[in-house]
Copies of this chain bind each other. A is one copy, B any other.
């Protein structure tokens, strides 16, 4: 029952559809025959939103959202107003917007009779400096960033609404995603940031000595996980979604050197306190329950990402 084709004909709302994850999910939903209402503050790119109905708005536009949610089967909640760095700079506002906003969405969905929200949580930040990676869903989370604390609190609220109101929400703890439509212009997503910097001829700056390990996951794999979570009929409510492979920043740079065919000069800088030392996810629960695993090939995914960023730079310059 976790065959993604079961999403065909379902009416889906994607909240926060204008961002990178939305650009992964929406075209896949459309291709599978789902009806997609896409909702967000802005659309960075038009191409991935072909075939969806776009609505502009924020989590605070309660009336607009309530109308949008009528007759909907499943909601994908990808909205986040912050990156880990910006959340840290403004913790109270991040709390209000992201946790408070999630709570508001939960109430609207409950009143609309929607059974399932698939919530994009953060596998890279909720565990923080927890012990003994790879982290499983039963690892005790010790977030060391406001971003991680707030994602975790929002997860708890999704589970609370399952408990109180019989919803069947699912939180996906998504590792470090990368891929086309992650433009790399802000400080989020080091694969894209580095690629863009190299292609634009600027120097790569690494916080720390480049040894910190992350679990990098291709965007197409994330979309597949979200759709499988949408149609999942088992009892679990929280899944790690990652590659399960730890790669250091130096590994990433080495792989980019191969893909881009050039030596990449790096400037090492003092590490930031919000960065965890190692983040690798044990994704066996998602494999067992959702029948999902990160199937994309690392080097091919990197290559596709580089091609897209090259093309994005070209488009910006014409």
Name A residues whose Cβ lies closer than 8 Å to a Cβ of B. Answer: 91-92, 95-96, 99-100, 103-104, 129, 138-140, 142-146, 149-150, 152-153, 156-157, 159-160, 163-164, 273-274
Contact = CB atoms under 8 A, between A and B. Distances in A.
A156 B160 contact: no
Grouping DSSP codes into helix (H, G, I), strand (E, B) and loop, the A interface class, with mixed when no group exceeds half, is helix
Given A92-B100, A92-B104, A144-B163, 11 more contacts: A91-B103, A95-B103, A95-B153, A96-B100, A142-B156, A142-B159, A144-B160, A144-B164, A149-B156, A149-B157, A152-B156
Contacts of A144: 159-160, 163-164
A153 B159 CA distance: 15
Contacts of A138: 140
Contacts of A146: 157, 160
Given A96-B100, A149-B153, A273 B163 contact: yes
A149 B139 CA distance: 18
A273 B164 contact: yes
Ranked nearest first, the 8 interchain pairs of A and B with the lowest CB-CB distance are: A149-B156, A153-B153, A144-B163, A164-B273, A92-B100, A92-B103, A91-B103, A143-B156
Nearest to A143: B156
9 contacts: A95-B96, A95-B100, A95-B153, A129-B163, A139-B140, A142-B159, A144-B160, A149-B156, A163-B273
Nearest to A144: B163
A103 B146 CA distance: 10
A143 B164 CA distance: 12
Nearest to A165: B273
Contacts of A160: 143-146, 149
Nearest to A274: B164
A169 to B, nearest CB: 14
Nearest to A91: B103
A162 to B, nearest CB: 9
Nearest to A145: B160
A98 to B, nearest CB: 11
Nearest to A156: B149
A164 to B, nearest CB: 5
Nearest to A137: B140
Contacts of A140: 138-140
Contacts of A163: 129, 144, 273
A167 to B, nearest CB: 13
Nearest to A131: B138
A100 B96 CA distance: 8
A288 B235 CA distance: 38
A156 to B, nearest CB: 4
